[in-house]
Chain A
């Protein structure tokens, strides 16, 4: 009985882990996460990691989600202590390389959230790659103070 339970727990853990990593072609999209939004803030940011295990370069060129009016690829550049958030036309992932979308750098900006993001929410996000095409991932919402994926 105990063994069976352990196996069940293990399988559940595996499926949870699998839900946070998505493969498309030679790409692995790992741990998409967002912070819960403070107050009624109409914007949010999604972070994730893209591993390119293929022999050719890739580029994330578009993002979309039903939870916000728009989703855009952004970067945050620092210039003499001034943060400059700017849209980018794509995020390159060279062959064998990993692109990290994380606080203070590349991120997916959500504008016009239909409702606040709350801790433990899960919502879909569609990523479009130049070569691999479209893939849907599930974004897990952590606490307002999250500094990385919490699940």
Chain B
């Protein structure tokens, strides 16, 4: 197990390095030249040339890349020019990241809680109206653009359900411990603060959860259908085991293998969705920062956030990989 983890970590490092290369190339390709990445629009031709010299942009590309890596590893990403002008990009990230995590966690939980049981039942009742309806529903869920759904929820449901439609929390003087507002409220026992934060999470999480839900549902359904036909399920039935045991120990345990991988994949896809959803709900997470960064061409912000987004995504997949190995003994003992 340990050897497996180490192997995976090395692979992870490899992918992160490739990603950093891509990000570096991307930055240099951004309109305005790499100096813009640090100066933004405010740079004049002179200051840009001076900065380019200072940054060593007249040096060979791979030297520049290593310097870029060095800066990245020491946390120097410059200051925001458009999203939160003047603020250090690292500060912006630290401020906003917990919000996106809260939102993503909530969204994934929703998607899993609804998607997996629904997928199981749909598989069991394959071909019935229930099955067709839920599959149809999931297909529609994928066809609806996330930001539009977010709009609809915000405009239509927010007032009807008495839920807030913007921001993360009303100004109620809540204490900030970890930056995860719901958790903070629970830790400090400021229940109304926690509840308030939760209310703000609700609609954005539903919007964000739609696509992961659709995919998790479809994959669960397909996996359960596959597993139900397997010989070992027939053996379990031949043993006269209770329907419950057959369902949990034999069908679901095996069906969960591809589902777990899918969940990891979806967490990554959530990042993209978060950009759109947070913008609609003015939810102050990194997604909103990215969205505004794209809009206002705030390159310092973009540079760091894209890099981090990629790393987070890869790390999540590593975790999923590991849990897969935990579940499936065939991988462990190879």
Do the two chains bind?
no
Chain A residues within CB distance 8 Å of chain B = none
